[in-house]
Amino acid sequence: MANTRITKPTRIIVISLVGVALGASASTFDFAEGTSYLSDVPETCVNCHVMRPQYNSWERSRHHAVATCNDCHVPSDGLNKWIAKSANGWHHSKAFTLGDYPENIRIKPNNLAIVEANCIRCHGSLFHHATTTSASAVAADGCVRCHAGVAHAAEHTMVPR
């Protein structure tokens, strides 16, 4: 049977590499203000400069007084909220680190579905009072398609269909 014992120099190299990787990860997380993404504070969204126009238009909107970014852009229930925040955090950090994002960002279909569900969660009772349209019919056609400029300036939230 071969000797599978790890030599002392090998252990030092492995421990050093793990330490460098952990240190670089912690430094990157700190530089990117990673803990801010665990909050519901809207200013977190402008950690990335391409979000400045959306943030500025949200500040001028009627939603500013009643809704944060997370109220519209992540599910309201606990586990799904953290799954969405984690997935978006991964995609955003990868795009920011690699510079792999367009200057005029577009919402992705899965995130649009979350926004649409949150529109209905907050405004669903209006469908039966103001119109004969049901919430499920509006969800099928989409709120944002007609109301793109409600929470943000329309030129920043145009949704490809």
Q: 114, 45, 124, 43: which is closest to 76 by C-alpha?
A: 114
Beta carbons of 147 and 115 less than 8 angstroms apart: no
Q: How confident is the model at residue 156 (pLDDT cuts 50, 70, 90)?
A: very low
What is the C-alpha to C-alpha distance for residues 157 and 144, in angstroms, rounded to an integer? 8
How would you classify residue 94: left for phi > 0, otherwise alpha for psi between -120 and 50, otherwise beta? alpha
Query: How many Å apart are CA 18 and CA 11, to the nearest integer?
Result: 10
How many CA atoms, within 13 angstroms, populate the side-chain half-sphere of residue 40?
11
So what's the pLDDT on residue 3?
64
Summarize pLDDT for 19-69 with one digit per residue, the tens: 999 999 888 888 877 777 778 888 888 877 788 888 998 888 888 889 999
What is the topology classification, in CATH, of domain 21-157? Multiheme cytochrome fold (1.10.3820)
Q: What pLDDT score was predicted for residue 155?
A: 47
Domain boundaries of the chain, sorted by first residue: 21-157
- With beta carbons less than 8 A apart as the criterion, state whether 153 and 53 touch: yes
Residue 16 pLDDT level (bands cut at 50, 70, 90): very high
Q: How confident is the model at residue 73 (pLDDT cuts 50, 70, 90)?
A: very high
Q: CA-CA distance, 67 to 76, in Å (whole number)?
A: 12
Phi, psi values for residue 146, rounded to 5°: -95, -25
* pLDDT 10s digits, 78-133: 899 999 998 988 888 788 778 888 777 788 889 998 998 899 899 888 765 444 45
The token pair that represents 23 in the structure block: 């240190």
